[in-house]
């Protein structure tokens, strides 16, 4: 599988990062004098990066504060989250085995996440996952981010993609739409953070567990 390039979304796809995003969000909400929110709500708020997560959390607990206070809360959220990236977050079951299989098969892998680089890079490092990826790009790496095709194309460029097959694996609308916009097949995971069933997003393929990924990709590349 030398000519294969696989892009992975991070939050809700490779890593169940919601517990620590939940902790950081509630830290900020407490500072803002708001009620705490539960983790089930937070799972559906993840997908457009940390700023949007905080915006959604504030909106759900009384509305947006002034721009000045919001910026202060963003800074506090960022500082707190930076120190608690993997307190409770874990790779989904089967992720490490699957990445090892791809690596052995000579597949080039990259991470294409809307998470800011300030968090995406250390999170992958601290989890011991960095070694699998040729490139990591975040929501702030380019002028555009998922669902814009530019995010996928920019990541593939960093992976030195010139010919072959590229695939996007993700959990949310922004991943599946970005793949569609970039003209590459998508594989949706059903265990991520999207509120609606992933089949409604019309991905090219669907998996319920990471163990299904390697056999599926082998089949796709053979057909
Ligand atoms: O952190 C987010 O909001 C989104 O991150 P993801 O693109 O890796 O799902
Ligand atoms: Mg995601």
pLDDT tens-digit profile of 65-120?
A: 999 999 999 999 999 999 999 999 999 999 999 999 999 999 999 999 999 999 99
Task: Count how many domains the chain has.
Answer: 2
Q: What is the DSSP letter of 132?
A: G
3-state secondary structure of 56: helix
Task: List the structure tokens of 120.
Answer: 């995406």
- My answer on whether 151 and 169 are in the same domain is yes
- My answer on whether 34 and 76 are in the same domain is yes
Name the closest-CA residue to atom 4, ligand 1: 47
| Residues annotated as part of the active site | 9
pTM: 0.96
Ligand nearest, relative to CA of residue 146: 1
3-state secondary structure of 8: strand
- My answer on whether 12 and 22 are in the same domain is no
pLDDT at 1 over 80: no
Angle at Cα 68 formed by Cα 64 and Cα 71, nearest 5°? Answer: 80
pLDDT at 211 over 80: yes
Query: Which residues lie across from 11 on neighbouring strands?
Result: 15
CATH number for the domain that contains residue 27: 1.10.150
CA of 49 to the centre of ligand 1 (A): 5
Global ipTM: 0.96
Q: What percent of the chain has pLDDT over 70?
A: 100
Using an 8 Å Cβ cutoff, are 107 and 161 in contact? no
pLDDT value at residue 221: 87
- My answer on whether 54 and 100 are in the same domain is no
Task: Give the structural domain span for 128.
Answer: 4-16+91-222
CA of 222 to the centre of ligand 1 (A): 31
- Annotated binding-site positions for Mg(2+): 9, 11, 171
Q: Which residue has the tokens 């299904």?
A: 212
The pLDDT tens digits for 36-59 are 999 999 999 998 888 999 999 999
């Amino acid at each position: 599988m030398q000519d294969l390039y696989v892009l992975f979304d991070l939050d809700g796809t490779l890593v169940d990062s919601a517990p620590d995003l939940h902790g950081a969000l509630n830290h900020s909400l407490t500072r803002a004098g708001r009620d705490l929110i539960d983790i089930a709500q937070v799972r559906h708020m993840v997908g457009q990066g940390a700023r949007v997560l905080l915006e959604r959390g504030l909106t759900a607990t009384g509305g947006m504060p002034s721009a000045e206070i919001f910026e202060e809360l963003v800074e506090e959220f960022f500082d707190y989250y930076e120190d608690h990236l993997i307190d409770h977050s874990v790779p989904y079951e089967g992720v490490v085995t699957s990445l090892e299989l791809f690596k052995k098969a000579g597949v080039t892998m990259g991470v294409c996440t809307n998470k800011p680089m300030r968090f995406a890079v250390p999170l992958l490092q601290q989890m011991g996952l960095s070694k699998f990826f040729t490139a990591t790009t975040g929501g702030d790496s380019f002028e555009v981010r998922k669902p814009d095709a530019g995010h996928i194309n920019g990541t593939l460029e960093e992976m030195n993609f010139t010919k072959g097959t590229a695939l996007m694996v993700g959990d949310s609308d922004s991943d599946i739409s970005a793949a569609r916009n970039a003209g590459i097949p998508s594989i949706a995971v059903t265990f991520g953070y999207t509120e609606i069933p992933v089949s409604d997003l019309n991905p090219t393929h669907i998996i319920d567990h990471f163990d299904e990924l390697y056999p599926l990709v082998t089949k796709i590349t053979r057909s």
